[in-house]
Amino acid sequence: MTSRLMPSTNSGRRWAMRSPVPRSMRRTFATSRVILSQAFHSQLDDPAAAALFSSLRTSKATPQTLTEKIVQQYSVGLAKDKFVKSGDYVTISPHRCMTHDNSWPVALKFMSIGASKLHDPSQIVMTLDHDVQNKSEKNLQKYQQIESFAKLHGVEFYPAGRGIGHQIMVEEGFAWPGTLVVASDSHSNMYGGVGCLGTPIVRTDGASIWATGKTWWQIPPVARVNLSGVLPPGVTGKDVIVALCGLFGKDDVLNHAIEFTGSEEAMWSLSVDDRLTIANMTTEWGALSGLFPLDGVLKGWLKAKATTAAMGLADGPYKTKAAERFTHPILDELFANPLIADKGAKYAKELYLNLSSLTPYVSGPNSVKVATPLSELEAANIPVNKAYLVSCTNSRASDIAAAARVFKEAAEKNDGKIPKIADGVQFYIAAASIPEQIAAEEAGDWQVLLDAGATTLPAGCGPCIGLGTGLLEPGEVGISASNRNFKGRMGSTDAKAYLGSPEVVAASALSGKLSGPGWYKSPEGWTGVVRGEGDGIKEEDRMLTMDEQLEKIIGQLDDIVADGEKKFAPEPTADAAVEEAPSEGALTDVYPGFPERVSGEIVFCDGDNINTDGIYPGKYTYQDNVPVETMAQVCMSNYDTEFSTLAKPGDILVTGYNFGCGSSREQAATAILAKQIPLVVAGSFGNIFSRNSINNALMGLEIPRLISRLRETFGDDKALTRRTGWTLTWNVRRSQIEVQEGEGGAKWTHKVGELPPNVQEIIAKGGLEKWVKNAIEA
């Protein structure tokens, strides 16, 4: 296998000849696929940073995407004149870092590495939002420990019931346009709705930021999504992202950063609340961020926030410091120096969607990758048992107003009386935060839903994460305005969960079946949603500026040079061909204590998009000190209850593509380790799982060829988990695997990506937490 060709740093011309990436600069989470990134070594030499990787080299100015520009601002230790780009490993010092119910586990990690003082208390925000309905002594004790820790260290703290952490980050101004903000939760992408580059980290990263102010990040490839047209009446931001997840559901943006752009009319048709919903669920689309620009819509929202704060209208019976951050002088400075993508910035891919052609969509059942026009599901007369207007995705005042409108319009046909929800349906509502609930109450919308028979829950995650009141029972069907409908996430694995807009949730609760309010009218001649790859502009309609024409010519030259390299490149030398025929001199060094070989029987879980809920059930996620034996027992149980009895210590788990997508829970990795499985092989991994694996000493390989071969052999077997009788042996020194296809079967070898000694060291020492502790003590 050869590495993807990388831009040369020896020439200022953008169409410079390229050369293969050296073996010492390979991706860390080993893979047999084309390698995107350069790699790192020097970051490991700085234990205080707890930053693993760095491949920073001096380069001349190059056009940057908005994502790259923001990362540039928050990267530390860059070489002089270094312009960061996708693929670079960087040490980042984020503007803010939010932790929620997992703050105490992060605190334990923080203390276990020998740290006693936060590097910068103003960088940290703590919120309690996930298990707020749990009044057990154990949970209340944890909450008290978090609050005491925050008070001791001078950290901004928001107690249980104040709101969901992501909503607090937005409404309090912690997630600020043009900044980089991280949180120990996978829906940190939501901050992109206000022009803030939000991305998830894991608990170990959180401890590193608390102690040093920094952690590591690899800048993802950046995808640009071009929007045109305007949202039709009855179509919402939720429909946009549900449709994107389904219509581009083949890992199109997996592990990418997304930048949303579009025509002025398209962007004006998307409110900030719509954008927050879309950005929030870019997580489910597979992306690491979803960034909207600082445009007229966002500026108007920010000005309104500043005016409200200046008039004292933001104050209430809850903690808020919004008035300190949303001020007109601060906004004037922001607007005077906005960050925007450079002309000529390179994107890994471009997609387009015509909003005018969009229709209401519903996700499911039990998968965000399945998106169906609402009209088709309405025709199926699918009964609903539970409806949920909850979560950070869609429970702001505007969402509550949309749901209330459904009942208000029905009241017009019911002698002005608000109708009750259908018999046999339970309708749960929880605001994203107390300020949003108060706004809904003052508008009268909250009371409308109560009059209709809704059951209120405290402002928090609740049913969305599968905690507290109102979970789905076996055989039930639920429709939710939240962000995830993974099997078993919201209750029983034998239930069916759908996702839709707030008005669809309300209409379904009212009718007792999956339905909408009837606001959308399909245009005459409508043939489907207009979408595809590229920017969506027809060549005959394209008007290019001189700069754009020059950029197009340069891009064509890039393609010509790349094609020429493929056709006329000389035969590779022994050094260049080292991956195909490694010599003794090209072998990977093996760190002392790291095994030279890893071998075991393959246990095959033949599924794509197996998420972290499937790997480790949500109901255990916020229970601290779960015994290792219990973690091993429940490992993969939401995917297959038989896994626990079929998988044995020492097995090698092999699965499909996008393994470990979903939430940022590190137990998805540690539960597999608890099962004494040392190595996971997949066609591809969700980025957050890869990060957790490295940080927790679980080894991983990406080998699409092996997945294809297993599916060729066992494709007719419908078992979710099967013992194959095949063995896999990974030769770490030679970066090669050997597969024996059962007794007397074929034997073959395949090259895989190199696992550098610096990453071996982290795994050999038991993970990043122990590595940092060891480095501090040294």
Per-residue model confidence as pLDDT tens digits over 247-290: 998 888 999 999 999 999 999 999 999 999 999 999 999 999 99
- Burial zone of 599 (CB within 10 Å; 0-12 exposed, 13-18 middle, 19+ buried): middle
Per-residue model confidence as pLDDT tens digits over 497-515: 999 999 999 999 999 999 9
> Taking 60 as the threshold, does the pLDDT of residue 771 lie above it?
yes
> Taking 90 as the threshold, does the pLDDT of residue 687 lie above it?
no
- Comparing 128 with 691, the larger pLDDT belongs to 128
Strand-pairing partners, residue 749, are 738
> Taking 60 as the threshold, does the pLDDT of residue 126 lie above it?
yes
Q: Which of 393-407, 419-433, 458-472 has the lowest mean pLDDT?
A: 458-472
507 touches 516 (CB < 8 A): yes
Q: Which two tokens stand for residue 302?
A: 């920010």
- C-alpha 577/C-alpha 41 separation (Å) is 23
Q: Mean pLDDT over residues 556-572, rounded?
A: 54
Q: How many CB atoms lie within 10 A of CB 22?
A: 13
Q: Which two tokens stand for residue 544?
A: 């290019």
> Taking 70 as the threshold, does the pLDDT of residue 374 lie above it?
yes
- Comparing 314 with 764, the larger pLDDT belongs to 764
Within the chain, all domains assigned CATH 3.20.19.10 are found at 587-777
**CATH 3.30.499.10 assigned to 363-511:** yes
Give the per-residue pLDDT at 319: 84
pLDDT band at 381 (very low <50, low <70, confident <90, very high): very high
Per-residue model confidence as pLDDT tens digits over 640-674: 999 999 999 999 999 999 999 888 888 999 999 99
* C-alpha distances out from residue 114 to 105, 121, 153, 769, 775, Å: 15, 17, 16, 10, 10
188 touches 166 (CB < 8 A): yes
> Taking 80 as the threshold, does the pLDDT of residue 26 lie above it?
no
Give the per-residue pLDDT at 176: 98
- C-alpha 266/C-alpha 141 separation (Å) is 49
Q: Mean pLDDT over residues 358-387, rounded?
A: 96
- C-alpha 302/C-alpha 279 separation (Å) is 18
- C-alpha 7/C-alpha 301 separation (Å) is 40
Per-residue model confidence as pLDDT tens digits over 605-637: 999 999 999 999 988 887 878 999 999 999 999
- C-alpha 703/C-alpha 750 separation (Å) is 9
Per-residue model confidence as pLDDT tens digits over 49-71: 333 343 333 345 689 999 999 99
Q: Which letter, b or e, does each residue of 653-673 get, where b requires 16 or more Cβ atoms within 10 Å of its Cβ? A: bbbbbbbbbbbbbbbbbbbbb
* C-alpha distances out from residue 552 to 341, 546, 559, Å: 17, 10, 11
How many percent of the chain have pLDDT more than 90? 69
Complete DSSP assignment for 628-658: HHHHHHHTTTTT-TTHHHH--TT-EEEE-SS
Task: Name the residue type at position 695.
Answer: N
Task: Name the residue type at position 326.
Answer: F
Give the per-residue pLDDT at 568: 52
Mean pLDDT of the chain: 87
- Comparing 309 with 239, the larger pLDDT belongs to 239
- C-alpha 389/C-alpha 432 separation (Å) is 10
* C-alpha distances out from residue 663 to 234, 689, 706, Å: 30, 9, 26
Q: Mean pLDDT over residues 213-239, rounded?
A: 95
- C-alpha 637/C-alpha 338 separation (Å) is 48
Q: Mean pLDDT over residues 690-704, rounded?
A: 91
Per-residue model confidence as pLDDT tens digits over 738-767: 999 999 999 999 999 888 787 788 899 898
Give the per-residue pLDDT at 2: 33
Superfamily, domain 587-777? Aconitase, domain 4 (3.20.19.10)
Q: Smallest Cα–Cα separation from 460: which of 101, 130, 158?
A: 130
Strand-pairing partners, residue 403, are none
With residue 283 as reference, give the H or E element that holds it. helix 282-285
445 touches 395 (CB < 8 A): no
Q: Smallest Cα–Cα separation from 498: which of 474, 478, 516, 473?
A: 478
Q: Smallest Cα–Cα separation from 242: which of 611, 490, 499?
A: 499
Peptide bond into 572 cis (omega under 30): no
- Burial zone of 677 (CB within 10 Å; 0-12 exposed, 13-18 middle, 19+ buried): buried
Q: Which of 11-25, 114-128, 530-544, 576-590 has the lowest mean pLDDT?
A: 11-25
> Taking 90 as the threshold, does the pLDDT of residue 98 lie above it?
yes
Place of tokens 């100015």: 61
Give the per-residue pLDDT at 49: 37
Give the per-residue pLDDT at 550: 64
pLDDT band at 166 (very low <50, low <70, confident <90, very high): very high
pLDDT band at 12 (very low <50, low <70, confident <90, very high): very low
Structure-derived torsion over alpha carbons of residues 255, 52, 68, 220, reported in degrees to the nearest 10: -10
Q: How far is CA 729 from the centre of its chain?
A: 32
154 touches 121 (CB < 8 A): yes
Give the per-residue pLDDT at 546: 62
> Taking 50 as the threshold, does the pLDDT of residue 457 lie above it?
yes
* C-alpha distances out from residue 335 to 180, 293, 298, 330, 650, Å: 17, 12, 11, 9, 57
Structure-derived torsion over alpha carbons of residues 336, 340, 344, 345, reported in degrees to the nearest 10: 150
Within the chain, all domains assigned CATH 3.30.499.10 are found at 363-511
- Burial zone of 620 (CB within 10 Å; 0-12 exposed, 13-18 middle, 19+ buried): middle
Give the per-residue pLDDT at 8: 32
How many percent of the chain have pLDDT more than 70? 85
Q: How many CB atoms lie within 10 A of CB 474?
A: 9
> Taking 50 as the threshold, does the pLDDT of residue 487 lie above it?
yes
- C-alpha 158/C-alpha 763 separation (Å) is 35
Structure-derived torsion over alpha carbons of residues 359, 360, 363, 368, reported in degrees to the nearest 10: 60
Give the per-residue pLDDT at 517: 97
Give the per-residue pLDDT at 717: 82
Q: Which of 189-193, 442-446, 575-579 has the lowest mean pLDDT?
A: 575-579
Task: Name the residue type at position 446.
Answer: W
pLDDT band at 770 (very low <50, low <70, confident <90, very high): confident
With residue 425 as reference, give the H or E element that holds it. none
Q: Smallest Cα–Cα separation from 528: which of 320, 303, 354?
A: 354
pLDDT band at 34 (very low <50, low <70, confident <90, very high): very low
Give the per-residue pLDDT at 544: 61
Query: What's the sign of the alpha-carbon dihedral 45, 46, 50, 55?
Result: negative
DSSP 231: P
